[in-house]
Amino acid sequence: MSAGTVAAVDLGATSGRVIVAKVGQNAIEMRTVTRFANTPVQTIDGLHWNVLGLYRSALAGLGTALREEPELSSIGIDSWAVDYALLRGERMLGTPFHYRDERTQRGVEAAHALVPLAELYARNGLQFLPFNSLYQLTTDRLDGVLELADGALLIPDLFAYWLTGRRVAERSNASTTGLLSVTNGQWDTELLARLKLPASVLPRLVDAGARIGSILPAVAAELGASRPIDVIAVGSHDTASAVLAVPMRAERAAYISCGTWGLVGLELEHPVLSDAARESNFTNEGGVDGTVRFLHNVMGLWLLSESVRSWEKADGTAIDLVELLAAAAAVTAAVAVFDANDPRFLATGDMPRRIAEYCTEHGLTAPASRAEVVRSIIESLAEAFADAVRTAAHLADRTVDAVHIVGGGSQNELLCQLTADHLGLPVLAGPVEATALGNVLVQARAQGFIDGDLAELRALVARSFAPRRYEPRDR
């Protein structure tokens, strides 16, 4: 078995990147080839992803990757979940909506009138989020748009289709649509019929590790590739890829995949579908190798990035985040701890104002300075993370003795320390690029550069990227 080189296209809610990795049985070397902004666009009908711009940036990055690494043997794509493009034949019908667009309220009501939430949960195991694909598709149905479509592809599947001409639905991401059976992992055709959604728009399901196809000749020409390159299905839901790359002992650890969102939970072998799990809004999403990602969506660093966006707009200049975080760490006065999961924080817009409103409504003193707002956000996130870890362990009847934080949030020292303090457990931070790592590991295994089960892949991650340890302090 010898090492080989693969490329990950990893699309996050604020930026995307193309990463190349040389992966062998004993070490992984990763290098970011290109990073590009992901800036949503508000038009008259709502908030959209600029998927064409993202695709162009991904192609440019893959072209550079190939020039620099002519041995590159495959490409894998991951992104956020739930959002999709509708297609008719080869044509994309409109520009995909962003999950933070607020159009889906009608879809939620219409879907629940057909199938009540408790029954949905028993069938799909998903926490209620107003943007789950099934509500978005129901809104498209009510708007008369769905009937024009003969296909629907989640974002990574859309990119794979544009690269290869093959339409598939990778299972980890398909599990976030709400239309996949949590018990057998197949499209739930009975549920689709009851929701008045056409099963015919949904493509064939594949598992992470499957070969989707080779890049089309026109794509090869654009990338300057002189030979066929495979596109491999990875854990195309970014959180599935991130969880795969958490260097944990899955039976005893909880994870927090912290970027725009904080996804907090456990890896399980079987879903937990109890009333208590539904009432606590815990989800059973599909992981790589048939695992269950039992987790809860906490609002995440979105609270911070959207605050910074408001301040930068007001100032007309960029804010130095390192400086701002240092100022937040230096705040000594007690700050308000608010409910980071309050739905008012979901949409785009003035975040500091919404935090202040929450505080006033709940009899808390609203944070005054920017440093205090940031401190208040981080304290509130740490508390929400700790709470979700405890709830997950309780619901799944597990003992947790360590918590791993991966993703961008693992670099936030204050957040890691406060999470450890709130839980009274050690926090192990890193790797930062867990999502891209999970993406390349699945490709490398599919290509035969490495082998092993999840525990062995995680041991490889731990050898290549040693986590940083935070011990809990007395509170």
Q: Which residues bind ligand LFR (CB under 6 A)?
A: 13, 80-82, 99, 237-239, 259-261, 263, 297
Instruction: Give dist(CA 48, CA 440) in Å, integer.
Output: 28
Minimum distance from residue 252 beta carbon to ligand LFR (Å): 23
Nearer to ligand LFR, 79 or 417 (CB): 79
Whether residue 238 lies in the annotated active site = yes
Cα 188–chain centre separation: 23
Q: For tokens 């606590």, what's the residue?
A: 280
Contacts of residue 15, defined as CB under 8 A and 6 or more positions apart, other chains included, come to: 35, 36, 37, 38
Provide the pairing of β-strand 91-92 with 84-88: antiparallel
Helix (H, G, I), strand (E, B) or coil at 417: helix
Complex with ligand LFR: residue 237 or 375, whichever CB lies closer: 237
Cβ–Cβ < 8 Å for 189, 201: no
Q: Which two tokens stand for residue 459?
A: 């041991």
Q: How far is the CB of 83 from ligand LFR (least distance, A)?
A: 7
Which residue lies nearer to ligand LFR by CB, 125 or 367? 125
Termini Cα distance of the chain: 50
Q: Is 125 left (phi over 0), alpha (psi -120 to 50) or beta?
A: left
Of 293 and 375, CB closest to ligand LFR: 293
86, 161 in Cβ contact below 8 A? no
Q: Which is nearer to ligand LFR, 179 or 328 (CB)?
A: 179
Looking up tokens 């986590």, which residue turns up? 467
Q: Which is nearer to ligand LFR, 64 or 127 (CB)?
A: 127
Tokens read off for 292: 């269950």
Report CA torsion sign: 154, 159, 160, 164.
positive
**Pairing mode, strands 292-298 and 262-268:** antiparallel
Cβ atoms 416, 470 nearer than 8 A? yes
Give backbone dihedrals phi and psi of 449, rounded to 5 degrees, phi first.
-80, -25
Query: How many Å apart are CA 80 and CA 237, to the nearest integer?
Result: 6
Task: Tell me which residue has tokens 């930062």.
Answer: 432
Instruction: Find the shortest distance in angstroms from Cβ 82 to ligand LFR.
Output: 4
Residues shown for the chain: 475
* CB-CB neighbours of 42 under 10 Å: 11
CB of 9 to ligand LFR, least distance (A): 14
Shortest Cβ distance from residue 469 to ligand LFR (Å)?
25
Give min distance, CB of 156 to ligand LFR, in A.
11
What's 9's DSSP letter? Answer: E
CB of 84 to ligand LFR, least distance (A): 11
Give one word for 98, left, alpha or beta, with left for phi > 0 and alpha for psi -120 to 50. Answer: beta
Active-site residue, from 238, 342, 350, 387? 238
Nearer of residues 76 and 367 to ligand LFR, judged by Cβ = 76
Q: What is the DSSP letter of 251?
A: T
Which amino acid, 189?
T
Given phi > 0 = left and psi -120 to 50 = alpha, else beta, which region is 197?
beta
In terms of CB distance, is 81 or 149 closer to ligand LFR? 81
Gap between the Cα atoms of 181 and 133, Å rounded: 14
Smallest gap, in angstroms, from Cβ of residue 218 to ligand LFR? 30
Residues annotated as catalytic are: 238
